[in-house]
Amino acid sequence: MPDRKKAREKAKKLVSQMTVLEKASQLRYDAAPVKRLGVPAYNYWNEALHGVARAGTATMFPQAIGMAASFDEDMMQAIGDVIATEGRAKYNEAAKHEDRDIYKGLTFWSPNINIFRDPRWGRGHETYGEDPYLTSRLGVGFVRGLQGDGEVLKAAACAKHFAVHSGPEDLRHEFDAAATKKDMWETYLPAFEALVKEAKVEAVMGAYNRTNGEPCCGSKTLLHDILREKWGFEGHVVSDCWAIRDFHEEHHVTANARESAALALKNGCDINCGNTYLHLMAAYEEGLVTEEEITRAAERALTTRFLLGLFDGSEYDEIPYEKVECREHLELAVEAARKSMVLLKNDGTLPLKKENLKTIGVVGPNANSRIALIGNYHGTASRYITVLEGIQDEAGDDVRVMYSEGCHLYQDRVEGLAWRQDRISEAVTVAEHSDVTVVVVGLDENMEGEEMDTGNHVGSGDKKDLSLPAVQQELLEAVTAVGKPVVVVLMAGSAIDLSYAQEHANAVLQAWYPGARGGKAVADVLFGNCSPSGKLPVTFYRSLEGLPEFTDYSMKGRTYRYMEGEALYPFGYGRTYADIFVAGAEFAEEPTTDKEIVIKARVKNASDVKSEDVVQVYVKILGSPNAVPNTSLCGFKRISLLPGEEKEAELRISPEALKTVSEQGERVRDGSGFVFYVGTSQPDERSVSLTGKKPVKLKFYRKE
């Protein structure tokens, strides 16, 4: 592991030779060179949400929400390692050519571990879903893969956006996210704590909004009291881009740029993405900040560069450019996409059997869309395989594939001079002439994403409701009305109301934004080359009814842990082509509340289909006024089973899962009893109804 103490000493020595102006010049995301000391320019801004982004060619994995649906910690670590390898390969070549531009460094501003608390949030598909435990485990795996275990950091990860940040996008620069201490420590902070304490994440990015009155990028509570003092964070903090400018222009907590720069620096924001730190020297001259505070931030920033081996060289300097988009990496990306697919409904129509088909219809605005493959914060692939192309490749010469775009993604016509819904009759014709029709609908980064995304042309990127665009709903209804089998493939990064598809389609597959070659993975699942095995990392609500206002950060009524109604598709739900269930479960030894609990589950495949599935453990805490209303995920494990095979899965439950969070935000052990549900889904009635399987219950009572 990297020697932080030694790196810090080197950084201190180097910074001690700098003038105040030179030190201040190191605190911008585009750090200036200090040529007399041999310090080259360095740009801290790079992205790696699901592959090296915005810097040319790289392997593109499924969007983060899709990776989350895999419920696979080991795969997340492998993906992080691939991204770091390609990042190094690209950095090595860029450095040889003296290219120090944006998106060319090794400080990756990923992952986004905010909680997807509300399905309207446009950036939710950048996250790992709505559950803090799942987010923590996948985030830790991703960071460990990205940073590696060598003598230097392979790359530097960044946990963002700290904290309590999940929309609305159009208000984020001025918004105050008011959250109770209970909600903070029960939902919004656990993933950040895990990444800091367990994964030793090198950087943390502040959020645009205020949290309980303090702007996050200048919050003493968040950056000093919690991050540094309570959690012992030793890396550097970076602002979100131009967020410090918001202090005086939008939040109005300071009077000008000098005061904003001073507030951020004094409370622990080391690097400014933006230009407000250009005013640091003026703030220094006015006595608003001290040289010691500038020095401290510069030392933290330079420590990261020493930890990356950027001054002394490292074992990663010889990673060749040929590693970028190599076969091994591309295969992992397709495998990740396969594992991300969530089968929501199937009446036996899937998998498609080529020997029984003469013609397959493929319709819908996302069927042949490259944009719908990749989500936002993406790089460039050398080859894309859309869903249409994946189906064509798999069908081969023996099965005719007919195609119609069907409709525009959201506008009422494809051709500007045409009648409204100018492609819908063609889509109906295709369905009439096909044995089965695959309808590929959904969204893309033009419709859900970050405010001011380069591809975001509709509002702020948030959704107004959970409906498919009206033109797509019309298309779906027209095709199902033909009366032949219909398979719906949804490509979207968030919950969509699929009530009509659930009632009228023969099968429904959630494909997310599956990556550059995701169309191959979709085809593999549709034709049974592999069994779907993903699980929903978010709740698919029936409607927005019962959800609090988008601007209300209370968790009451939100997500599977607190919701009061019945979901259309619950968190943790997902079918396979096999019949896999937990046949029995037991504690490995007598459980107590103060040590790790080991559950041994017997998992059986009662079908003739090989498949993977995810064993999940949920806990219900009894006798505590602080317990969440429903259950909480506390363990999961992906398992592969051959036809007829039975295996034992061992799941380890942290004693922290048996604690509750008080109204004061304190983690307490106050439950009188604990019920564990061990199955392949949640224990809620809707999941049992959809799967026909009840989880195994284990219970014990506290003896103190």
Structure tokens at 203: 């950087």
Residue 623, phi-psi category: left (phi > 0), alpha (psi -120 to 50), beta (remainder): left
Residue 595, Cβ density class (10 Å: 0-12 exposed, 13-18 middle, ≥19 buried): exposed
CB 285 within 8 A of CB 257: no
Which one from 448, 451, 453, 613 is the annotated catalytic residue?
448
CB 677 within 8 A of CB 691: no
DSSP for 657-704 reads: GG-EE-TTS-EE---SEEEEEEESS-SSHHHHHHHS-PPEEEEEE---
Residue 561, Cβ density class (10 Å: 0-12 exposed, 13-18 middle, ≥19 buried): buried
Q: Is 448 a catalytic residue?
A: yes
Give the contacts of 76 (CB within 8 A, at least 6 positions apart): 67, 70, 138, 141, 142, 145
Q: What is the CA radius of gyration of the chain?
A: 25
Give the contacts of 588 (CB within 8 A, at least 6 positions apart): 598, 599, 600, 650
Residue 198, Cβ density class (10 Å: 0-12 exposed, 13-18 middle, ≥19 buried): middle
Alpha-carbon span 247 to 420, nearest angstrom:
46
Choose among 162, 145, 153: nearest CA to 48.
145
Inter-CA distances, 326 with 60, 86, 243, 381, Å: 12, 9, 37, 11
Which one from 240, 246, 444, 445 is the annotated catalytic residue?
240
Choose among 503, 96, 518: nearest CA to 341.
518
Alpha-carbon span 48 to 41, nearest angstrom:
21
CB 485 within 8 A of CB 439: no
Structure tokens at 360: 């397959």
Half-sphere exposure at residue 115, Cβ-oriented, CA atoms within 13 angstroms: 27
CB 491 within 8 A of CB 441: yes
DSSP for 590-605 reads: ---TTS-EEEEEEEEE
Choose among 232, 297, 299: nearest CA to 271.
297
Choose among 659, 597, 607, 656: nearest CA to 628.
659
Hey, is 273 helix, strand or coil?
A: coil
Q: Edge-to-edge, what's the strand order for the sheet holding 203-206?
A: 158-162, 203-206, 236-238
If one counts every other C-beta atom within 10 angstroms of the C-beta of residue 339, the result is 25
Q: Is 240 a catalytic residue?
A: yes
Choose among 185, 31, 6, 188: nearest CA to 105.
31
φ and ψ of 195, to 5 deg = -70, -35
Start-to-end Cα distance in the chain = 40
Three-state secondary structure of 415-450: CCCCCCCCCHHHHHHHHHCCCEEEEEEECCCCCCCC
Catalytic residues: 240, 448
